[in-house]
Amino acid sequence: MLKRVLIANRGEIALRIIRACRELDVETVAVYSQADESSLAAQVATRSLCIGPARASDSYLNQEALLTAAKATGCDAIHPGYGFLSENPDFADRCVEAGLRYIGPSGDVIRKMGSKAAARTLAQNAGVPVVPGSDGPLSGVVQARELADRVGYPVLLKASAGGGGRGMRQVDGPEDLERAYQAAQAEAVACFGNGEMYLEKLILHPRHIEFQIMADGQGHVVHLGERDCSIQRRRQKLVEESPSRALTPELRERMGAAAVAAARAAGYVGAGTVEFVLSPEGDFYFIEMNTRIQVEHPVTELVTGVDLVREQLRVAAGLPLSFTQEDVRVSGHAIECRINAEDPEHDFHPCPGKTEFLHLPGGPGVRVDTALYTGYEVPPYYDSLVAKVLVHAPTRLEAIRRMRRALEELVIEGYPTNAALAHLIMHDPEFVRGQYDTSFLDRNLEKLLELARTCDHLMDG
């Protein structure tokens, strides 16, 4: 096994990784920025050290500082978590060059999948259906226009280096194309330092269905079923569940095989996610592969009983997967609600602040992944995710009822969150029937917010 792991991340995922390490008797080194001195991860890790100022570029994205810290503390591996450097192929390479194990696939694999335009080609060559669109990156607006005419509007302009829903624009007709191209490209340059663009036909009313992959260095590639992540705002996930109501056993089998084929074609090792959009007609298309642990990975852990972070550590240590495809059994139903420090009433504007009081839900079938505690000050420099509330129950309806109950128990005082919105989603007839698609939240947001206001008003009265 590994001896000592440096965690190049923060917040709930840093804590999640520390937990897996402790259960395997692996020591941990938490690094933190000056804004994270009072973080829970820094307190519970075997050792912790400050690596720089609050700004991510000076701390969690500072490769030199991370590698120096790992060496100075005698670590033999680095876990990148999600976000930050987790999909940076150069960082993966540099870890290996420094004699450290990188807990994730090789730099080459990340590079292949990291350009979303190139990943499309790779998937296509592996026989995996992709959305009609460009072969490789676009040369400019002129080529985008030709292609859009060919595949038909509406189309999506997407940044090759994009992530978190950024660098993407929907284009409904030729008159909007040039402006959208420039806006998407400018956003991609600002967020990812890379303006490479590609184009896909917009699939109307799709589901976002993704498959969890786990692969080891001995050539085993398995999938652990799907997650339905269609409840999104601005193309970012808010609620995730497994299994998906939209899949038949036959479709699950085909999509799972396609996900495994894409991972195999990339020479994948470690935990990863293959994302698809699924049309109302039941056609599925590869959209991207995330070469890291995903925010919503606990959904899969609940229904399969597999500890994905533990498997990541085992695989990085050179051990084979502890299970085979035949061993994977999906049991019951799991749902996750992402709780963000943000104000749904003001366009989901991030609202960090001091956690004046915190009470977390518990009891049967409830899991909360968070690094919050009463008195903790959420810093304004990073992602607004503060907690993930998860439930597991025998059936989907029982899971929904359990999630309602868990969200009713949750108390976070000190700043606004989206918890009340999540609670209302759990009561929405369309959600309860399971017949929603990625447009659900945009279509229902005003109605749900109005309901929330009415509830507040009644409570105040």
Residue ranges in contact with ligand ADP by CB under 6 A: 82-83, 87, 131, 156, 162-165, 192, 200, 202-203, 206, 208, 232, 235-237, 275, 277, 287-288, 290, 294-295, 383, 438
> Smallest distance from the beta carbon of 275 to Mg ion, in angstroms?
5
- Helix, strand, coil content of the chain in percent (nearest 5): 40, 25, 35
130 contact partners, CB below 8 Å, separation of at least 6: 120, 123, 124, 285, 286, 287
301 binds, among ligand ADP, Mg ion, none (CB under 5 to 8 A by kind): none
* Residue 416's binding partner out of ligand ADP, Mg ion, none, with CB under 5 to 8 Å set by partner kind: none
Stretch that binds Mg ion, among 110-118, 236-244, 269-277, 423-431 (CB under 5 A): 269-277
Give catalytic status of residue 292 as yes or no.
yes
C-alpha 181, offset from chain centre: 25
Rounded Cα distance between 329 and 231, Å, is 25
**How many Å apart are CA 275 and CA 271, to the nearest integer?**
13
Count of residues touching Mg ion (by CB under 5 A) = 1
For ligand ADP, the nearest residue by Cβ is 163
How many CA atoms are closer than 13 Å to the CA of 284, on its beta-carbon side?
27
> Rounded to an integer, what distance in angstroms lies between the CA atom of residue 225 and that of residue 333?
12
What does 156 bind: Mg ion, ligand ADP, none (CB cut-off 5 to 8 Å by kind)?
Answer: ligand ADP
Nearer to ligand ADP, 143 or 322 (CB): 143
CB of 246 to ligand ADP, least distance (A): 13
In terms of CB distance, is 177 or 277 closer to Mg ion? 277
Q: Which is nearer to ligand ADP, 202 or 224 (CB)?
A: 202
Whether the ω angle into residue 154 lies within 30 degrees of 0, i.e. cis, is: yes
Nearer Cβ to ligand ADP (106/232)? 232
Given Mg ion, ligand ADP, none, residue 277, with its beta carbon under 5 to 8 Å by kind, binds ligand ADP
Q: 164 contacts which partner out of Mg ion, ligand ADP, none, CB within 5 to 8 A by kind?
A: ligand ADP
Shortest distance, position 11 Cβ to ligand ADP, whole Å? 9
Q: How far apart are CA 134 and CA 117, in angstroms?
A: 8
What separation in angstroms does the CA of 353 have from each of 257, 374, 375?
45, 12, 10
C-alpha span between 158 and 151 (Å, rounded): 15
Nearer Cβ to ligand ADP (4/153):
153
Q: What stretch of H or E contains 17?
A: helix 11-23
CA 351 to chain centre: 21
Give the active site residue among 292, 338, 396, 402: 292
In the numeric block, the tokens 């509406």 are attached to: 154
If DSSP codes are grouped into helix, strand and coil, which group holds residue 29?
strand
- C-beta of 286 vs 376, nearer to Mg ion: 286
Partner interacting with residue 165 (select from ligand ADP, Mg ion, none; CB below 5-8 Å by kind): ligand ADP
**Which residues are tagged catalytic?**
292
Applying CB under 5 A, which residues contact Mg ion?
275
